[in-house]
Structure formats: structure tokens, C-alpha cells
Amino acid sequence: MDRTLFDSIIGHGRLKEQFARLIDEDRVPHAMIFAGPAGVGKTMMAIAVASALVGRRVFPDLASREGEAVAGDKDDAFYLAPLGAMLKVDQFRQLQGELALQGEAGCRRVCIIDHVETMNTEFANRMLKILEEPPSGVCFILITDQPDLLLPTIISRCARFTFDPVSDEEMRQGLRRLKGDGGNWEEAILWGGGIVRTVLSYLEGQGTDKAHFALDFLTITAKHACPYAKWLAVSAALTDTETTEILGWISLFLRDMAVLRSGAGRDYIRLKGYIHEMTELLPYWTDDAVFGLSQVLDEGLEAVSRYVNVRLVWDYVCIRAIRLRGGF
């Protein structure tokens, strides 16, 4: 395959080699799950793999296709993303109609389905059926930030590829390749936590506001005299998407706080830019509280994915956090 298709993707060297080998040996699974945190490059990798399979670069302007039920690139590459909060069964029906049309003889076709955890029951049932009896020459790439929300029957019919946060060194190499030598990226890498999107946003001057929200949550629920009222006031205007991102950042902070308490070296910390703040919070969050809150955050993420009102989600998460801290 043409390995230059991977050039715009920062990190994930092991996965790039694995995909290249599968493509060169014609052993690509008919269905794959790309799982990992938001912003690490899963969709870009899916597009690169799809381009290699169909033999040309596909979706060069995907951002401009937002809002389309099924974005097609000729008749051999298709991309679906949630319309509003969820993937809708009408989108899958349209995709099935596209796949029913005869493609060019001997050519592969690829279907990328983003945020697949948002599919409703009817979408999932149709997805399962097509995975059980896949059309000849069609490859499905399912992308998710929350693989635990997928049906076990769907997971069992797919090959899973896990995308971890990008290491500092891979981040430097990728930035050097994309932006040239001479850049000063250390501060962005320090604050980015291995999340490519966050690092790039920081370099563009957008900062890490969601990380600050997450740190505020841990600080308020640990130290504030009236944590419940204070946090609900702070979180009043947050959207579903923002809530999902912030819950993810809180999970990252808890993970790093556990690492700090264990005495492991700095290299194991993802959010190196917040070491001072996390160290100050350690006396307030015991191991049991960290473990308990991690479970609560998973419940909160699942609730948001099922379209529970975010005010109710934050109400639940905040109360549980305060109780884990010994409040109320």
C-alpha cells in the first residue's frame, strides 16, 4: 500500500504498520472497530485505510459534508455520523440502498460509521444482520469513543483495534513532520495528555478549557463549602458534547492522580502540565474515592449517550462525588 496515506496522522506507528501489513497481504477483516479516546486520530486513520483499500484518496473535504445522512465518495466509500445526537435507522437504510447498487467489478468498498455507540436499537439490529452476512467486497469500519456501549454480538463479529493516547515522542515527530522544524511544541504536548486534537487546538490558541472544567469539578467537590450548588451553577450551560468531553477529562485526571499516588515516574503521567494541581488534590481523593468516582463517570457517559438530560447527569455525578468524599 501507499504508506504516504498515513503521513497526516500523528502517532500510532504500531497500528500503521499493522494496517499496512494487512492491506499488503489482503487480510483486512470485513468489519473492524476503531476504539479509543476522542481526538486521537481514529477517523483520520479510518479514512487512510479506506483510501488504501479503494486505491485512491477518499473524503479530502469530509468536514464540509457535515449533516449529510450518508456522505459518499463516488460509489466505493461511504461515511455516516450521527444526525443530531444519534445515528438513525434511515441513514442505515440509505447506506443499504447504496450497497445494493453494483460497484465496479473486483473493487473494494468501504463504509465508515462514526460514533457507532449512538446507534439506536433498530440501527443496531440492521448492523448486526449485515455483519452476519456481509456483502462481498465491503469493509465496515466502526469508530467509537465508548466501546463498552456496543452490543456484545456486534463486538464479537469485528476485529478490534485500540487507539491509545499518543506518546510525547510520537507527538513531537508528528508535529515536526506536519509543521516543519523549529516549532516550540513542548508546552502544547505538556498540556495535551496525548490527545492530538487537544495539542493542535492549544497550538491554535484555543487552550484546554474542558480540562480546566474537569479540574474545577474535582476541586469544587473536594474543597468548596457548598460543592453541590457551586458545581451546578458552573455546569448550567454545558451541552451534551461538552459534558462528554469534561467527563472524559475527569477520568484522565483520576487516572493520573492514581499514578502519582503510586509513586510511578513522571513518564507515566499523561497530563504533565497539571502535576502541581493534581498533587494538591491527592489528600482529598483517597484510592477508594478515585475508584468509585471512575465508575460513576462511566455511568454518566452512558447516560449522556442515551440522551438523558445533562442537568440530571451532572446532578447525579456531583452528588455521588460528594458522597464518595464523605459529604452529605
> Same domain for 120 and 33?
yes
**What mean pLDDT do residues 110-115 have?**
95
Which strands form 138-144's sheet, in the order they lie side by side?
71-73, 77-80, 109-113, 138-144, 31-35, 159-162
Position 75 scores a pLDDT of 86
For the chain, the distance separating the N- and C-terminal CA atoms, rounded to the nearest angstrom, is 60
6-24 residue pLDDT tens: 999 999 999 999 999 999 9
In a domain, 17, yes or no: yes
Instruction: Please give the backbone phi and psi of residue 140, each rounded to the nearest 5 degrees, phi first.
Output: -110, 130
Position 199 scores a pLDDT of 87
158-211 residue pLDDT tens: 999 999 999 989 999 999 888 876 666 887 887 788 889 888 887 876 656 888
Position 328 scores a pLDDT of 63
221-265 residue pLDDT tens: 999 989 999 999 999 999 888 898 899 889 989 999 999 999 887
> Same domain for 121 and 214?
no
In a domain, 177, yes or no: no
Position 21 scores a pLDDT of 96
CATH code for the domain in which residue 42 is found: 3.40.50.300
Position 203 scores a pLDDT of 80
Percent of the chain with pLDDT over 70: 95
3-state secondary structure of 144: strand
* Measured torsion, CA atoms of residues 50, 51, 55, 56, in degrees rounded to the nearest 10: 150
What mean pLDDT value characterizes the chain?
89
Name the pLDDT band for 104 (thresholds 50, 70, 90).
low
**What mean pLDDT do residues 95-104 have?**
77
> Same domain for 53 and 148?
yes
> Same domain for 221 and 111?
no
> Same domain for 48 and 147?
yes
Calpha distance 219→216 (Å, rounded): 5
In a domain, 183, yes or no: no
Whether residue 76 contacts residue 109, with contact meaning beta carbons closer than 8 Å, is answered with: yes
DSSP calls for 238-264: --HHHHHHHHHHHHHHHHHHHHHHHT-
Instruction: Please give the backbone phi and psi of residue 268, each rounded to the nearest 5 degrees, phi first.
Output: -90, -5
> Same domain for 90 and 237?
no
20-68 residue pLDDT tens: 999 999 999 999 999 998 889 999 999 999 999 999 999 988 888 888 8
Position 306 scores a pLDDT of 78
Percent of the chain with pLDDT over 90: 57
3-state secondary structure of 86: strand
- How many domains would you assign to the chain? 2
In a domain, 230, yes or no: yes
Segments forming the whole domain that contains residue 290: 208-324
> Same domain for 235 and 92?
no
pTM above 0.85, yes or no: no
> Same domain for 105 and 215?
no
Position 245 scores a pLDDT of 84
In a domain, 178, yes or no: no
Last residue of a domain, one of 124, 146, 162: 162
With a CB cutoff of 8 Å and minimum separation 6, the contacts of 229 are none
Name the pLDDT band for 153 (thresholds 50, 70, 90).
very high
DSSP calls for 19-79: HHHHHHTT---SEEEEE--TTSSHHHHHHHHHHHHHTS---TTGGGGTT-SSEEETTTEEE
With a CB cutoff of 8 Å and minimum separation 6, the contacts of 73 are 58, 59, 79
- Structural element, H or E, at residue 301: helix 287-305
**What mean pLDDT do residues 262-269 have?**
82
Whether residue 228 contacts residue 322, with contact meaning beta carbons closer than 8 Å, is answered with: yes
> Same domain for 53 and 157?
yes
Whether residue 169 contacts residue 55, with contact meaning beta carbons closer than 8 Å, is answered with: no
Name the pLDDT band for 2 (thresholds 50, 70, 90).
confident
Residue 135 has pLDDT above 90, yes or no: no
Whether residue 318 contacts residue 228, with contact meaning beta carbons closer than 8 Å, is answered with: yes
Instruction: Please give the backbone phi and psi of residue 204, each rounded to the nearest 5 degrees, phi first.
Output: -90, 5
Whether residue 171 contacts residue 192, with contact meaning beta carbons closer than 8 Å, is answered with: yes
CATH code for the domain in which residue 289 is found: 1.20.272
> Same domain for 237 and 130?
no
> Same domain for 147 and 12?
yes
Calpha distance 142→31 (Å, rounded): 8
In a domain, 174, yes or no: no
In a domain, 130, yes or no: yes
Which three-class secondary structure string do you get for 96-135?
HHHHHCCCCCCCCEEEEECCHHHCCHHHHHHHHHHHHCCC
Last residue of a domain, one of 136, 162, 188: 162
In a domain, 169, yes or no: no
Last residue of a domain, one of 137, 162, 187: 162
Numbers of helices and strands, H then E, in the chain: 14, 6
